[in-house]
Structure 1
Amino acid sequence: MFRSELEDAVGVENVISVKQQQQEEQSIDHYWLTFMWKEKKQDMPLPYFIVRPLTTEQVSKVMRICYTYKVPVVPRGGGSGTQGGAATLYGGILLDLTRMDRILQIDEQSLILTAQPGINGRVLENELNAKGYMLAHYPSSVDISTLGGYLAARGSGVMSTKYGKAEDMVLSLEVVLPDGKIIETLPTPNHACGPGLLQLFVGSEGTLGVITKVSMRLDPLPETRLFRMMKFPSVQDGLKAGREIMVKRLNPTVMRLYDPGSTRRSLKDTGMNVEGVHMVLMFDGYREIAEPLRDKVVAICKSHGAIDLGEEPGLYWWEHRYDFYKPPLQPAYPLLYGTVETVTTYANIQKLYEEKKKLVEEKYKEWNAQYMAHFSHWYPWGTMIYDRFYIDRPPADPQEAFRLHNQIWAECSRVNMANGALLNEHHGIGFKLGWLMREQYGDTFDVLLDIKKLIDPKGIMNPGKLGFGIW
């Protein structure tokens, strides 16, 4: 009867049996563990059905059915996440939102986009660019991610230093709650009408409801884009320059500082003949504004010992910026790896970098562990470190490999927290880091848990994620 009700809500052809139609790929995302499970032919937790709604009303019907039967629901966009946020840990249904892929309105007077959550990032950007606009998010996952996914994990794009993260661009949301109610946040995020509910759902990773409509700020395509690449004597010199640029509120569009390991693995592997510590810079807008801004930033970098490598390598980086995240450069199983990125203040960032590098390369020396980092999203008060560990030859036994993976993650995460940093800056929590959420929040986590239980009293929304269990 449960399947019949779902078919009545969305159509027979849009309720798919995973086992019968061999749709196992839909039950995982890009989390390392799920790839290992698949490659090692381990049993993976599968959903009962994949359900593919087309409208908000269909989502509402599906949620009411699942609420009645207390069936878990895992919302899914493009499946580009790396934290296991879309993994179906407890069966239930996987709510595939990729049919909800329409642009509903472009308000050209206010520069506001309204769209459904399942629209592909590349498709969306191409359509906006054709009209002279951009959604200035530009994540590395743009080819496979969706608009709803940008917001589910509070994503950052390559131009966040100037334009902000996805959470800064969103204006309002329509959300279907676990019991099927359809709610909308206020039409703008800036108001004095009590607490803002918008940011409660942004970053909730499908644990509080299903995002079904999104309104986002647009920006005009810039008249010009100017590039630079600088070479620094050390990571510390680069961080000092980045800090000075930001505290003086100069805000380049892109500012990426690569340590020597990241330079070798990212920049050099794309064909650039560089070694050492490098910073990529981009400035956009009107040329008469962008040029003096560039010159001021370059002068600050030089004052910290940097050598100006000119325009061409910076432009090359921009044209190849997505190569690092695709085969063959993208890390893949059987390599054991993790992106233990975080964000902290300028007072803490150098110490944080040094402690994590020492932890990975010295404690796990027997595994020939490598650590490398770049600093890519900058704020007036601090910066984000996108750092990874790599082990080329992990244990062959899947349980031992997973244990080693989790151990390094836990220790790196605790170094983060000990240095005033967070568990994550823009990839989200999923179930990979969920078990550390109480450690991050302390007693404040009980407030989050109370909110979750109030909105989702049956615990059906993406259970096991964000540190929320099942009940």
Structure 2
Amino acid sequence: MNLKGYAQEMFRSELEDAVGPENVVAVVNDAQKDLAIDQYWLTYMWKQKNEELQLPYFIVRPETTEEVSKVMRICNTYKVPVVPRGGGSGTQGGAATMYGGIVLDVTRMVKIIDIDEESLVLTAQPGINGRVLENKLNKHGFMLAHYPSSVDIATLGGYLAARGSGVMSTKYGKAEDMVLSVEVVLPDGKIVETLPVPNHASGPGLLQLFVGSEGTLGVITKIRIRLDPLPETRLFRMIKFNEIHDGIEAGRQIMINRLNPAVIRLYDPGSTKKSLKGTGMDADGVNMVLMVDGFECIANEQMKKVLEICLENGGTDLGEEPGLYWWNTRYDFYRPPLQPSYPLLYGTVETITTYDKIHKLYDKKKRLVEEKYKEYNAEYMAHFSHWFPWGTMIYDRFYIASPPEDSRELFRLHNQIWADCSRVNLENGALLNEHHGIGFKLGYLMPELYGDMFDVLLNIKKGIDPKGIMNPGKLGFGIW
């Protein structure tokens, strides 16, 4: 609904009554306009080109679950779109206000409610910053073993919104594997809570319905999530391989033998140059960073076996120092000045599949980007950073150093490369994404991914959100 004049002022008055006048903010400056977008390249480019942004009516900052409930009831009554937002670190346009409405900023919801030291379970609000949370947990001897590259920006709720992966996911799992339960405010203001533990035989697991829903089904207001003890030791290594497929095979053998190091990070030559050499490491070619953690006696034996597998696959042990250097500089590539940004045209077309398909997928996407977009001198590079018992993800990017100047031509070119790469993913048994989410960047491809099952998802969305106010335009759901 498009609110104007006294209708919009009445809407504002009701919001102010719910959360206080100081927590309902009209968008009047650039800093507030930044809350209408996230880190998605297209929205950032659009703003830099001074193109028109779809701004929200207001930024609303609740502090409690009850305040979120009141806000949702008001927006449901007025049929006003709600875009939940944490730190805004997303790269898929998931926090972009495509249809105006309000930004529901949860960054005042920062309480640690409980640290259960017997069960190793944290209960906290969704708006707490990842770095702040980790520092507090470390003082108790614990860690939330997520450690994403966005840790300085992202929030706990954001970890769950896109089913995020951290650098140690190979051993500890993704955010979706760590969460026990969530409290959610539904579009009509109802406050619901999933079952207290995720493993049960008490009907379908509704927890995972909300994890990864990117704010399209409700607002997560409380999270119970698994902690882990800080490890006694962390052992590092870097291995050099002759070519990327040798490294993939070594990683596969490590995982199918259930050795589960905390980190396996395999870089192709292009990614070595940008990500490793770019941070000051003396490296070239194909390199694998390894980290094994836990009790020292166990970790030492694990590392011996992991190294044995790597050497059997043609690897050369470069020692501990470069692996430790990677650990200490692992976030530098994702911060200025190394972080890629506009006017460079780039995209992370990452995906995940099983081991039998990953080799062909890498070769096909590399060939697609570098041959089809040769006129733009497009580059393709990849690393493999999250490994599973059955397969691995490929964190691959395309880069164009000198793209067109026109904003609409840029928009179309970016989307065309994304569509081509995504369809190569789907044609080769891979998914649209592994840990960045869908947003509106990939939403239009969701029916291609899910087939007739997309109608099931859409019916769930309509059942929970019949007025379509929750983050419309994301996950391919559109607006109604």
TM over 0.5: yes
Q: What SS is found at the alignment partner of 1:469?
A: coil
For each residue in 1:340-385, what CA deviation from the matched residue of structure 2 results, as whole angstroms up to 9, or x when unmatched? Answer: 0000010000100000000000111110000000000000110000
- CA displacement 1:67-103 (0-9 Å, x = unmatched): 0000000000000000000000000000000000110
- Indicate yes or no: 2:218 matched with 1:213: no
Distance (Å, rounded) in 2 between the aligned partners of 1:19 and 1:207 = 27
Partner SS state of residue 424, structure 1: coil
2:323 to 303, 314, 332: 314
2:342 is matched with 333
Q: Distance in 2 between matches of 1:141 and 1:112?
A: 22
Question: Where does 1:410-449 land on structure 2 (aligned, <5 Å)?
Answer: 410-449=419-458
Query: What residue identity is the alignment partner of 2:425?
Result: N
Whichever residue aligns with residue 400 of structure 2, its letter is I
- 5 Å-filtered alignment, 1:86-101, equals 86-101=95-110
- Residue 213 of structure 2 aligns with which residue? 204
Segments of 5+ residues of structure 2 without an aligned counterpart are: 1-9
Match of 1:381 among 372, 375, 390: 390
Query: How far does residue 21 in structure 1 lie from its aligned partner after superposition?
Result: 8.1
Q: Tell me which residue corresponds to 2:7.
A: none
Give the corresponding residue for 1:15.
Answer: 24
Q: Deviation string for 1:256-300 (max 9, x for gaps)?
A: 000000000100011111110000000000100000100100010
CA distance in 2, matches of 1:363, 1:385: 20
Deviation at 1:34? 1.1
- Paired letter, 1:413: S
After superposition, the C-alpha distances for 1:2-52 in whole angstroms (9 at most, x for unaligned) are 100000000000000013686101111000011111110000110000000
Report how far residue 192 of structure 1 moved. Answer: 1.1
Equivalent residue for 1:451? 460
d(CA) in 2 for partners of 1:19, 1:446: 40
SS of match in other structure, 1:16: strand
Is 1:184 aligned with 2:193? Answer: yes
Distance 2:299 2:364 in 1: 37
The share of aligned pairs that are identical, in percent, is 77
Whichever residue aligns with residue 290 of structure 1, its letter is A
For residue 377 of structure 1, give the secondary structure of its aligned residue in structure 2: coil
Between the aligned partners of 1:454 and 1:19, the Cα distance in structure 2 is 36
Determine the structure 2 residue equivalent to 1:153: 162
1:60 equivalent to 2:72? Answer no
Asked if residue 4 in structure 1 is aligned to residue 13 in structure 2, the reply is yes
Q: Which residue of 2 aligns with 1:353?
A: 362
Question: Match of 1:124?
Answer: 133
Write out per-residue CA displacement over residues 230-269 of structure 1, whole angstroms, 9 at most, x where no aligned residue.
Answer: 0001101001100000000010010000000000010001
Q: Which of residues 65, 79, 87 is equivalent to 1:70?
A: 79
The aligned amino acid for 1:202 is: V
Find 2:301's aligned residue among 292, 308, 317. 292
Q: Given the two structures, how large is their TM-score scaled by the length of structure 2? A: 0.98
Q: What CA distance in whole angstroms lies between the structure 1 residues aligned with 2:442 and 2:449?
A: 10
Superimposed CA distance per residue, residues 376-430 of structure 1 (whole angstroms, 9 cap, x where no aligned partner):
0000110000000000011100000110000000000000001100000000000
Match of 1:246 in 2: 255
SS in 1 for 2:452: helix
How many residue pairs end up in the alignment? Answer: 471
CA RMSD of aligned residues (A): 0.7
Give the 3-state SS of the residue equivalent to 1:71 in structure 2.
coil
Distance 1:336 1:122 in 2: 29
Of the candidates 393, 396, 400, which is equivalent to residue 402 of structure 2?
393
Which SS does the other structure have where 1:23 is aligned? helix
Q: Can you list the C-alpha shifts for 1:120-148, whole angstroms capped at 9, x where unaligned?
A: 00000000001100000000000000000
* Structure-2 separation of matches of 1:406 and 1:21: 26
Amino acid across the alignment from 1:408 = I
Structure 2 residue 288 is matched with structure 1 residue 279: yes
The unaligned stretches of length 5 or more in structure 1 are none
Q: Which runs of 4+ in 1 moved over 6 A?
A: none
Output the CA distance in 2 between the equivalents of 1:230 and 1:405.
Answer: 35
Between the aligned partners of 1:416 and 1:450, the Cα distance in structure 2 is 26
Q: Residue 378 of structure 2: which of 359, 369, 384 is its match?
A: 369
Which amino acid letter does the alignment assign opposite residue 279 of structure 1?
M
Distance across 2 between alignment mates of 1:128 and 1:357: 41
Amino acid in structure 2 at the alignment position of 1:16: V
1:50 pairs, out of 45, 50, 59, with: 59
Does the residue aligned with 1:19 lie in a helix, a strand or coil?
coil
Could you tell me how far apart the structure 2 residues matched to 1:381 and 1:108 are? 33
Whether 2:353 is the aligned partner of 1:344: answer yes
Q: Cα deviations across residues 154-206 of structure 1 (Å, max 9, x unaligned)?
A: 00000000000000000000000000000000100011111111000000000
Equivalent residue of 1:295, what SS?
helix
User: AA paired with 1:39?
Assistant: Q
Partner Cα separation in structure 2 for residue 337 and residue 424 of structure 1: 16
Give the match for residue 144 of structure 1: 153
Amino acid aligned to 1:192: A
1-structure distance, mates of 2:148, 2:31? 30
